[in-house]
Chains A and B, each alone.
Chain A
């Protein structure tokens, strides 16, 4: 497969999960695109953490992405660390982990690989392509690159480009990883080390951006962690510190540091307008895909203004688009959570689109 950076990759592995059954007409397939640190375990137990699927709130029997009705595919992205080719896998040429020899990948490359998976599964067109955050970027890329292969598209909490602020946060994360001596210039796997501290700090910083100030306040306030008084030291006195440390440590067990570098870079490089002569509407000209764009009022990582840019471009291209901003204080992570208004919006859209697609 030709990559955007110019490199050719062969022998690519794709790890994916499916839920439900493909119908005879092959018109009930849905592709779920996962976010930066997500994986293919959208609705099944994670083999490392043993936690239930990250999108169980949406995917399952009788749920909005109904596994009794739809055939749902979720694959680990290119560059990931849950089985799809990525920097921790073995480079057939050197027989060592790729590390930094892994080529730089883009959102376009991730989607190209998903299209190969679609061919392999013999699915002529997805009934819907769905995803939030980086998953939403893939949804937009899908709609732009393969409009005839997606009947509908549901980009959630996302943007058609990564903002300067978001690139800045990613750079903080990457520098934290690379500053960890155990990162060893990216060759930590060969040296049997793990840059735990660096990756944990990256995750902690990123995690703050997934929440909102009011959500942090509501969850933790200034409450102290298992103690009556301040300790006058640098221990995790506050609950919020303890929570972040926990998030950081947990993450390190299930995620590869180099994957984190590569995937954050792919997000930074994403700029759908730039790929279409600087005019975002050009990405969607002549499309017959139906769009349902959703943003969240307290999301400051992918704020509503970014979704509105997408909607504006879709309108300019004459596309079929619905858009709603969900009022919530849950921040960027809202798309992963049980937010009834979001479920209503997506549910209503899925039902009406299923009717027009003739899926009973």
Chain B
């Protein structure tokens, strides 16, 4: 069993959060999948006037959200997205949660069924620090963003930028927009398919759609 308390997002979420919010049209209907304490939802309601809903695994997370006045249901991205009707939301958001799901492919598929568009952010496992850690230390990478030992990490399905873009092709998903973020929170102006992007981006934020 995954320790649900460890499923909260990294403390250093502000860049990721801001970038996701920039991709969301004001006044839209938004579902935040894995919304933790509702930081992003709260931010979207305040700055973009969205009609926001959330799904969160932990009872503590849900309680915190509910106390903030957010509509959040306790549930699991892997199993509970199927309960939502088609295109019930303008956007389905998945922030730093993809790598913690059991079936990431199905989850992405569901995101674009439930939402007309999806915004997905995740850490890039091909980031140079991860590669260096593995090459020089010969151990599973632990960085400031990914600071769990291999045996206790909730992050069970790591992928690289390249893995992700290939999966999008397989699923006929269009990447409408993307932002790549370096290790210091700086924005990188690289093509998403480039080797440099896959090496220097610590995380990526993607706006996805499917015809």
Contacts and interface: CB of A to CB of B under 8 A. Distances in A.
Interface of A: 290, 292-293, 308, 311-312, 315-316, 318, 320-327, 341, 344-345, 347-349, 351-353, 355-356
B62 A351 contact: no
A325 B69 contact: no
B59 A352 contact: no
Contacts of B59: 324-327, 341
B14 interface: no
Contacts of A320: 53, 71
Given A311-B83, A316-B83, 13 more contacts: A312-B83, A315-B73, A315-B83, A315-B88, A316-B85, A316-B88, A322-B71, A323-B62, A327-B59, A341-B63, A347-B67, A348-B63, A352-B69
Contacts of A318: 88
A246 B56 CA distance: 42
A325 B88 CA distance: 24
Nearest to B29: A318
A322 B88 contact: no
A349 B64 CA distance: 10
B65 interface: yes
B144 to A, nearest CB: 32
A249 B95 CA distance: 56
Contacts of A347: 67
Contact of B62 (A315, A324, A353): A324
Contact of B69 (A326, A344, A353): A353
B69 A356 contact: yes
Interface in B56-94: 59, 62-75, 83-85, 88
Contact of A355 (B69, B72, B88): B69
Contacts of B68: 348, 352
A228 to B, nearest CB: 43
Interface string B147-168: 0000000000000000000000
28 contacts: A290-B71, A311-B83, A315-B85, A315-B88, A316-B83, A316-B84, A316-B85, A320-B53, A320-B71, A321-B53, A322-B62, A322-B65, A322-B71, A322-B73, A324-B59, A324-B63, A324-B66, A324-B73, A324-B74, A326-B59, A344-B67, A347-B67, A348-B66, A348-B68, A351-B67, A352-B67, A352-B68, A353-B69
A348 B71 CA distance: 11
Nearest to A318: B88
B73 A311 contact: yes
Contacts of B85: 315-316
Most buried by A among B67, B72, B88: B67
Contacts of B71: 290, 320-322
A323 B62 CA distance: 8
A315 B73 CA distance: 10
A345 B63 contact: yes
A344 B64 CA distance: 9
A63 B74 CA distance: 25
Nearest to A353: B69
Given A315-B88, A352-B68, A323 B63 contact: no
B69 to A, nearest CB: 3
A325 B83 CA distance: 17
Contacts of B67: 344, 347-349, 351-352
B69 A345 contact: no
B116 to A, nearest CB: 14
A-B pairs, 4 with minimum CB distance: A348-B67, A352-B69, A323-B73, A312-B83
A124 to B, nearest CB: 23
A323 B66 CA distance: 9
Interface in B20-67: 53, 59, 62-67
A323 B73 CA distance: 4
A321 B73 contact: yes
Given A327-B59, A341-B59, A322 B84 contact: no
Contacts of A355: 69
A255 B67 CA distance: 38
Nearest to A293: B73
A322 B69 CA distance: 10
Contacts of B73: 293, 311, 315, 321-324
B72 A322 contact: yes
B29 to A, nearest CB: 8
Nearest to B71: A320
